[in-house]
């Protein structure tokens, strides 16, 4: 006795729901300025790990922290080219890293392009001014102009 | 079914409705903004050294204030948290397979940060206590 059966249908594997590809890691820019910005943040971040953490521990924690800092302290410290270089690199990298960070944040919170540009221009101008001011002071500081204080 | 009016705050879940990473993301932003805003002021106060000892020693006297020193402790904490969390971000970005351990890495970051802050708070707290006593 022949019975009609439904034609055999192979079980289909369940539809794969797109999963987060962990090998892909986090989102990142694919090219252009944003990719360089992304890369800069990471490379400057590695350098700032040493420059900024070192600076904070030496200047703000060690001995009496900022309590021992005065003109004579700076004069002695900046007698060494190492510290002048350290402080200048910290100045440059921290300013760019920080202001680029602010730019990334304004991309999230300031939706009007004109307002965003205005806000960022304020930071760029401020950052450039502080870069010039800081660089001039770090490289031209000469305590012998004030005899008696340079120890 | 909860209507909009009767929904409790907890029905909406935590802010951003993500996992724990949202808090480290938010802390990274807050500490980053705090650091750059302080840096703007700090470049100027340090630059005053170029105007000689009288000017500089007067500016640096701002730090002889316990409240300013407490803020300074907060700054150190911000720099350290931003740094440790930054290491976590670097590791995940350059070794993407680590992303599946992100939760553990976040906890480790927090533990390392707290472990570092204990002696630092002890040292800087001692300096602040000395400042108040004198």
Q: Is B64 on the interface with A (CB under 8 A)?
A: yes
CA distance A70 to A67: 8
Average pLDDT, chain A: 86
How confident is the model over B47-73, as a mean pLDDT?
91
Give yes or no for residue A15 having a pLDDT over 90.
no
Give a three-class secondary structure readout of chain A.
CCCCCCCCCCCCCCCCCCCCCHHHCCCCCCCHHHHHHHHHHHHHHHHHHHHHHHHHHHHHHCCCHHHHCCHHHHHHHCCCHHHHHHHHHHHHHHHHHHHHHHHHHHHHHCCCHHHHHHHHHHHHHHHHHHHHHHHHHHHHCCHHHCCCCCC
Confidence of residue A20 (pLDDT cuts 50, 70, 90): very low
Look at residue A77 and tell me whether its pLDDT is greater than 90: yes
The whole-angstrom separation of Cα B106 and Cα B111 is: 9
Binned at pLDDT 50, 70 and 90, residue A31 comes out as confident
Q: What is the separation of C-alpha A48 from the centre of its chain, rounded to a whole number of angstroms? A: 8
Q: What is the pLDDT of residue A12?
A: 64
Nearest partner of B21 among B84, B107, B81, judged by Cα: B107
| CA dist., res. B116 & res. A53, Å (int) | 12
Contact check, Cβ <8 Å, A45/B90: yes
Nearest CA in chain B to A135: B47
In chain A, positions 37-76, which contact chain B (CB-CB < 8 Å)?
42, 45-46, 48-49, 52-53, 56, 60-61, 64-67, 69-72, 74
Q: Is A29 on the interface with B (CB under 8 A)?
A: no
pLDDT average, residue stretch B89-114:
91
Give pLDDT, residue A2. Answer: 60
**pLDDT for A23 beyond 50:** no
8 Å CB contact of A105 and B35: no
Between chains, do B49 and A71 touch, taking CB under 8 Å as contact? yes
Indicate if the pLDDT at residue B2 is higher than 70.
no
Instruction: Please give the radius of gyration of chain B, using alpha carbons only, rounded to the nearest integer.
Output: 21
Of the candidates B60, B126, B70, B85, the one whose C-alpha atom is nearest the C-alpha of residue A75 is B60
Ramachandran class of A143: left when φ > 0, alpha when ψ lies in -120 to 50, beta otherwise: alpha
A8-17, A51-60, A115-124, B21-30 — which is least confidently predicted?
A: A8-17
Q: Inter-chain contact A23–B97, Cβ cutoff 8 Å?
A: yes
CATH number for the domain including A49? 1.20.1300.10
Nearest to B76 by CA among B111, B47, B119, B46: B119
Give pLDDT tens digits for A54-66.
Answer: 999 999 888 888 8
Contact B96 A140 (CB under 8 A): no
Q: pLDDT tens digits, residue range A88-113?
A: 999 999 999 999 999 999 999 999 99
Inside any domain, residue A105 = yes
Q: Average pLDDT for residues A11-38, to the nearest whole number?
A: 68
Radius of gyration in angstroms for the set of CA atoms belonging to chain A, rounded to a whole number:
28
Check CB contact under 8 Å for A52 and B79.
Answer: yes
Q: What's the pLDDT at A48? A: 96
Phi-psi region of A89 (alpha: psi -120 to 50; beta: other; left: phi over 0): alpha
Average pLDDT over residues B39-50: 94
Q: Does residue A23 lie within any of the structural domains?
A: no
Mean pLDDT of B51-78: 92
- Map out the domains of chain B as residue ranges: 19-133
Task: Give percent above pLDDT 90 in chain B.
Answer: 60
Per-residue pLDDT band for B28 (boundaries 50, 70, 90) equals: very high
> Residue A90: inside a domain, yes or no?
yes
Across the range A4-10, mean pLDDT stands at: 68
- Closest Cα partner for B90 from A56, A39, A19, A74? A39
pLDDT given at position A21? 42
With respect to CATH, is domain B19-133 assigned 1.10.1200.10? Answer: no
- pLDDT grade, residue B23 (50/70/90)? confident
Q: Which domain holds residue A98?
A: 33-142
pLDDT(A3) > 80: no
Which pTM was predicted? Answer: 0.82
Give a yes or no: residue A150 inside a domain: no
Give the pLDDT band of residue A18 (cuts 50, 70, 90).
very low
Q: How many domains does chain A have?
A: 1
For residue A72, which residues of chain B lie inside 8 Å, CB to CB?
A: 53
Arithmetic mean of pLDDT over chain B:
87
Nearest CA in chain A to B69: A66
Residue A129 lies in a domain: yes
CB proximity list for B90: less than 8 A, separation 6 or greater:
A42, A45, A46
Predicted ipTM?
A: 0.84
Q: How far is CA B3 from CA A12, B7, B8, B15, B25, in A?
A: 39, 6, 10, 19, 31
Distance CA A69, CA A60 (A): 9
Residue B115 and residue B81 in contact, taking contact as beta carbons nearer than 8 Å = no
Query: What is the distance between the alpha carbons of residues A124 and A118, in angstroms, rounded to a whole number?
Result: 10
């Amino acid at each position: 006795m022949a019975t009609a059966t439904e034609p055999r249908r192979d079980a289909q594997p369940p539809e794969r729901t797109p999963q987060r590809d962990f090998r892909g890691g986090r989102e990142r820019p694919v090219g252009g300025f944003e990719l360089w910005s992304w890369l800069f943040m990471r490379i400057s971040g590695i350098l700032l790990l040493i420059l900024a953490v070192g600076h904070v521990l030496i200047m703000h924690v060690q001995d009496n922290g900022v309590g021992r800092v005065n003109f004579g302290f700076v004069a002695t410290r900046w007698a060494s080219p190492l510290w002048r270089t350290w402080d200048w690199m910290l100045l440059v990298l921290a300013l760019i890293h920080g202001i680029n960070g602010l730019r990334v944040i304004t991309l999230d919170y300031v939706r009007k392009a004109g307002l965003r540009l205005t806000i960022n221009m304020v930071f760029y101008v401020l950052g450039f001014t502080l870069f010039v001011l800081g660089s001039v002071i770090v490289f031209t500081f000469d305590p012998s102009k004030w005899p008696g204080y340079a120890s | 079914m909860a209507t909009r009016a009767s929904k409790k705050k907890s029905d909406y879940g935590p802010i951003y409705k993500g996992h724990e990473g949202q808090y480290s993301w938010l802390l990274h932003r807050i500490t980053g903004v705090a650091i750059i805003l302080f840096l703007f002021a700090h470049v100027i106060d340090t630059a005053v050294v170029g105007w000689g000892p009288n000017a500089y020693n007067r500016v640096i006297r701002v730090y002889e204030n316990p409240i300013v020193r407490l803020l300074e402790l907060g700054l150190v904490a911000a720099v350290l948290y931003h740094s440790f969390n930054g290491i976590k971000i670097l590791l995940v970005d350059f070794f993407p397979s680590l992303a599946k351990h992100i939760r553990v890495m976040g906890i480790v970051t927090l533990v390392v940060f707290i472990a570092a802050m204990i002696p630092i708070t002890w040292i800087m707290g001692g300096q602040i206590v000395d400042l108040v006593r004198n």
